[in-house]
Amino acid sequence: MNKNRYALWTSTIFAASLLLSGCQSLTGYQKIEEAESAKVWAGKIEPIAGEVNIACVGTYHCEIMQIDRTLVISPDSHEPINPAMLVAMPSSDGVKKTVKAPMNMDMTPLVSKNSIKIVPLSASAMPGLTNYYARVMPAKREVHVNFYPENNRSYIERFAMIHDFVEPGTYRLRAYQKRSDTNSGSLLETASPEPLCIDLLQGSQVQRRFCKQLGAERQGEFIETGTFEVSPTASKSKAIKA
């Protein structure tokens, strides 16, 4: 985690500004769903029988950086590292074109357990970038994701986990700020940011939950705070330090 930014969030100056304005800080949470430019995109994951779709949502932008040992999205270009992974749209002359419009995509089923395909999903709320989702076969996977809570390419929240994607279907990693149920009114507590949490959803159901720890010992580390039963075949896995 960017410690300088965390220090800025927890400063008393920031707390005073919150108290004076009566407003919460502006963040990018839920911005992906609100992106106006996304209206012209399909914006919908197309399930394929026997496959797992992995997507991320909840901030200005997010990217699936790595699956297992395979690098997926470049942190520099923000585009697929291997063009062969990107699902292409066939043109009228029969020649496949690599495009960012997800309509009429060539969604040929995967044939190998090691195959990974990247599919354009929507325009990002961060101008000039694209949201992608990944297609893989069911298996235990190591997934690395970069979240961008602000409209700032330099501020990245890195998350990684190992999960056994037993059942085919759509899985989403959704980032959000956990709201505190209690508020003592302390100036320091008011200044402290709500922790960043990430839910793993299988379909519409939360399956696992990870939250960043704000304490001194494990500051900046995502710790699993909840496991939710979705399927009797789903196995518990572990998180990786960010």
Pairing of strands 52-57, 169-177: parallel
What's the domain range around 71? 3-240
Instruction: Between 81 and 123, name the one with better pLDDT.
Output: 81
Alpha-carbon gap, residue 229 to 206, rounded angstroms: 9
At 111, list the tokens: 């044939």
Alpha-carbon gap, residue 4 to 206, rounded angstroms: 32
Q: Is the model's pLDDT at 98 over the cut of 70?
A: no
pLDDT value at residue 155: 93
pLDDT value at residue 63: 97
Where does residue 237 fall: left (phi above 0), alpha (psi -120 to 50 degrees), or beta otherwise? beta
The neighbour count for residue 213, using CB atoms within 10 Å, is 14
Q: Of 152, 144, 172, nearest to 57 (Cα)?
A: 172
Give the chain's domain count: 1
Q: Of 144, 148, 173, nearest to 161 (Cα)?
A: 144
Q: Is the model's pLDDT at 148 over the cut of 90?
A: yes
For the chain, the distance separating the N- and C-terminal CA atoms, rounded to the nearest angstrom, is 8
Residue type at position 221? E
Q: Of 181, 171, 154, 233, nearest to 208 (Cα)?
A: 171
Burial class (CB in 10 A: 0-12, 13-18, 19+), 1: middle
Q: Is the model's pLDDT at 57 over the cut of 50?
A: yes
* DSSP per residue, 35-68: -GGGGGS-------TT-EEEEEESSSEEEEEEET
Instruction: Between 95 and 39, name the one with better pLDDT.
Output: 95
- Band (pLDDT 50/70/90 cuts) for residue 234 is very low
Four-CA torsion 101, 103, 106, 109, nearest 10 degrees:
110
pLDDT in tens, 110-145: 999 999 999 999 889 999 999 999 999 999 999 999
Supply the pTM of this predicted model. 0.73
Alpha-carbon gap, residue 199 to 110, rounded angstroms: 27
The CA distances from residue 21 to 16, 17, 39, 86, in Å, are 9, 6, 33, 45
Q: Across all residues in the chain, what is the average pLDDT?
A: 75
